Amino acid sequence: MGFTIAEKILGRTTGEPPVRAGENHAVRPDRMIAYDFPGYTDVMFRQMREDFGITELEDPSRYVVFIDHMLTKDDEREAQVHQVTRDWCEFYGIELHEAQGIGHQLTAELGLATPGDFLVHFDGHISGVGAFNALGWGIRKDLIEAWVSGQVYVDIPATTRFDLVGEFPEGVDSRDLVHTIIELVGADGCAHQVMEFGGPGARSMAVDHRQGLCGMAMFTGAVSAIFEPDDVSTAYARDVARHAFDPVYPDDDAVYAARHTIDLSTLVPRVVRPGSARVANTSTVAEMTGTPITRAFIGSCASGRIEDLRAAALVLDGQTVSPSVELNVVPTSKKVFAQAEEEGILDVLRNAGATIAMSSCDFCFGYQQPLQPDENCISTGVLNITGRMGSPDANIFMGSPYTVAASAITGTISGATK
Amino acid sequence: MSAYPPPPDVIAGRVAWIFGDDFDIDLVVGVANIKSYDPEHLRSVCMSAYDPGFADRVRPGDVIVGGRNFGYGHPHYPPMVALRNAGVAAIVAESFSPGFWRGETFNGMPLITIEGITDAVSVHDEITLDWRSATLRTADGTQIVGNPPNPRTVAIIEAGGSYELLLAEHAPAHA
């Protein structure tokens, strides 16, 4: 019997392929990525030096660190956190990117996630690199195992295959798709597995939409998500790659835990109610229409890319954000910011009343302009648990950039009308 | 040095609480307390939303029982610190959410998957749990067997957590 994409990629990393789902192996990531965050990177750097006596890395090129959180208050605490990171990265010769945008996006832009690569991070949203046929796995504090030993033990995951057909209707995108999938399979429908996407519908999706979809894999319980390579993703990778790469396809007779076909043309806009992304909280926009909102946010590692900003501009062109709503837009990286500026997208959004903020993670986790008690926010962020974006007494709804933009105009949850 | 010693070969205690499917671990201390690392504060709020007397009632060796996808949500660490400090020695569930499973296995907590566990036991039942073989025995001798952890996970739990195992493997001075 054949192998899935995940089995093939992980098999390469053991030095003794093949590997099968269910086996436990030490796997050697191509890259071991982190963003600086108190209690994580600062502690891990200190542990490497003091507990393990590591003063020199065997292969520094496998380590990458981003400074993408806590950039917007310009205070002493921020400065201290980042100085610690700069010092350690200089000490070890680790590649560091500061204030260039959200690391999960920069990983793609910098050619760190090319087809067939295996990447680990402590943050699970690294799964977004699956758009490029790279396997990204959020291993939490086990990142220290990878940093110290160069490898990490994992259970080789089973795979659920999603065959996508059709194309998104107007006003529908990957956020609607991911929440449709959660409703289809459940909040643990792909638990401990990898989601594998292919088919003509997958090939019709823009790279940005693939990133947004893969980045949300954890909400089905999946450890990662990955697309079959095609001309679109391979062309992107070829433009940014630092090395030769080898795309990975599944075998025709690969063994899957489950297989689903989804027709993208049948999807409708979705909104997730506050609390979590679980099935019971997933609604259609039609069911939630009229719910008042005070805040709207387009950004995060699952959105805020050029396709997302184009969608928002399509809805907001010539319109005005409701006076009762604050709409904040965060392009995912400086590169995306510049492209959106060049295309005139940001002017459209500004003219409608949106505020454009610097590319960072800070809105998504409630660091920048946190929600106040009793506020209702509609967001393209990754998480709507209580307290995620500020006060535990505020409510976070999640939807696509089309839906967030349309809702910002009316001041209530609304579907896009054009 | 581990914050918590490895568990005994057979954990003997009671079922301290039974949760249903998709239990969000944050709810153990409440969202307002998930950024606290103060052991006394966490102890004072632990499970207070369910049972104000929980922290005084729970004893070392007690286990928490959960349904499917235990730990769903954003698996912050302080709620488990609260349960550990209260004496909870293991969690037995129908299945675990991957993020929670990875994070708490790192910390050396036995997370044992036994299908049918929520129907097999009641709160306050006296139980013994052989965590290596995923075998739980109730006070009347009924035995229910789940999926044993793999050898690497056993080694992590025996070491008192992944970090302690990593020290033993890669820092000879600590071995």
pLDDT, residue B58, reads 93
Q: What does the DSSP assignment read for A127-195? A: GGGGGGT-EEEE-GGGHHHHHHHS-EEEEPPPEEEEEEES-PPTT--HHHHHHHHHHHH-TTTTTTSEE
The sign of the dihedral angle between the CA atoms of B109, B114, B116, B117 is: negative
d(CA B76, CA B80): 8
d(CA A368, CA A69): 10
d(CA A108, CA A246): 16
Task: Tell me the average pLDDT of chain B.
Answer: 92
Contacts of B169 in chain A (CB under 8 A): 149
**Residues with Cβ < 8 Å from B141, sequence gap 6 or more?**
none
pLDDT, residue A382, reads 92
d(CA A190, CA A195): 7
Min Cα separation A14/chain B (Å): 16
Contacts of A385 in chain B (CB under 8 A): 24, 26, 31, 73-74
Q: Which amino acid is at A175?
A: R
d(CA A263, CA A251): 23
Min Cα separation B97/chain A (Å): 6
pLDDT, residue B172, reads 61
Contacts of B74 in chain A (CB under 8 A): 383, 385, 388
**B95, pLDDT greater than 60:** yes
CATH number of A271-410: 3.30.499.10
Domains A5-264 and A271-410 share a fold: yes
State the complex-level ipTM.
Answer: 0.93
pLDDT, residue A250, reads 98
Min Cα separation A141/chain B (Å): 7
Of B68, B74, B171, nearest to A51 by CB-CB distance is B171
The sign of the dihedral angle between the CA atoms of A121, A124, A126, A132 is: positive
Cβ proximity of A328 and A405 under 8 Å: no
d(CA A255, CA A320): 51
The closest of A129, A147, A138, A137 to A88, measured between CA atoms, is A147
A218 in contact with B, Cβ within 8 Å: yes
B69 in contact with A, Cβ within 8 Å: yes
Q: Enumerate the H helices of A56-102 as residue ranges.
A: 76-92
Cβ proximity of B146 and B134 under 8 Å: yes
pLDDT, residue B26, reads 87
Of A141, A278, A385, nearest to B74 by CB-CB distance is A385
pLDDT, residue A312, reads 98
The closest of A346, A176, A153 to A269, measured between CA atoms, is A176
**B1, pLDDT greater than 70:** no
pLDDT, residue B30, reads 86
Chain A, window 190-209: residues with a beta carbon less than 8 angstroms from a chain B beta carbon: 191-192
Beta bridge partners of A119: A31, A136
- A143 to each of A153, A191, A243, how far by Cα in Å? 11, 21, 24
Indicate the Cα dihedral angle B121, B125, B130, B134, nearest 10°.
Answer: 10
Q: In chain A, what are the domain boundaries?
A: 5-264, 271-410
pLDDT, residue B2, reads 62
SS (H, E, C) B102-165: HHHHHCCCCEEECCCHHHHCCCCCEEEEECCCCEEEECCCCEEECECCCHHHHHHHHHCCHHHH
B151 in contact with A, Cβ within 8 Å: yes
Of B24, B99, B103, nearest to A218 by CB-CB distance is B99
Cβ proximity of A182 and A282 under 8 Å: yes
pLDDT, residue A331, reads 98
B57 in contact with A, Cβ within 8 Å: no
Min Cα separation A142/chain B (Å): 7
Q: Which homologous superfamily does the CATH classification assign to the domain defined by A5-264?
A: Aconitase, domain 3 (3.30.499.10)
Cross-chain Cβ contact B151/A24 below 8 Å: yes
A52 in contact with B, Cβ within 8 Å: yes
Taking only the tens of pLDDT, chain A with its 418 residues reads: 999 999 999 999 998 899 999 999 999 999 999 999 999 999 999 999 999 999 999 999 999 999 999 999 999 999 999 999 999 999 999 999 999 999 999 999 999 999 999 999 999 999 999 999 999 999 999 999 999 999 999 999 999 999 999 999 999 999 999 999 999 999 999 999 999 999 999 999 999 999 999 999 999 999 999 999 999 999 999 999 999 999 999 999 999 999 999 999 999 999 999 988 888 899 999 999 999 999 999 999 999 999 999 999 999 999 999 999 999 999 999 999 999 999 999 999 999 999 999 999 999 999 999 999 999 999 999 988 888 999 989 999 999 999 999 999 999 999 996 4
Cross-chain Cβ contact B97/A392 below 8 Å: no
Which domains occur in chain B, in start order?
A: 10-169 (3.20.19.10)
Query: What's the pLDDT band for B173 if we cut at 50, 70, 90?
Result: low
B148 in contact with A, Cβ within 8 Å: no
User: Counting one residue from A and one from B, how many pairs have CB atoms under 8 Å apart?
Assistant: 80
SS (H, E, C) B21-83: CCCCHHHHCCHHHCCCCCHHHHHHHCCCCCCCCHHHHCCCCCEEEECCCECCCCCCCHHHHHH
Indicate the Cα dihedral angle B149, A119, A78, B162, nearest 10°.
Answer: 20
Q: Which of A27, A142, A279 is the mutation pick for testing B, counting most B CBs within 10 A?
A: A142
Contacts of B32 in chain A (CB under 8 A): 387, 392
Cross-chain Cβ contact B69/A187 below 8 Å: yes
Q: What is the pTM of this model?
A: 0.96
How many other CB atoms sit within 10 Å of the CB of residue A139?
A: 25
Chain A residue closest to B155 (CA)? A153
Query: What's the pLDDT band for B175 if we cut at 50, 70, 90?
Result: very low
Cross-chain Cβ contact B166/A223 below 8 Å: no
**B26-76 confidence digits (pLDDT tens):** 889 988 888 888 888 998 899 998 998 898 899 999 999 999 999 998 888
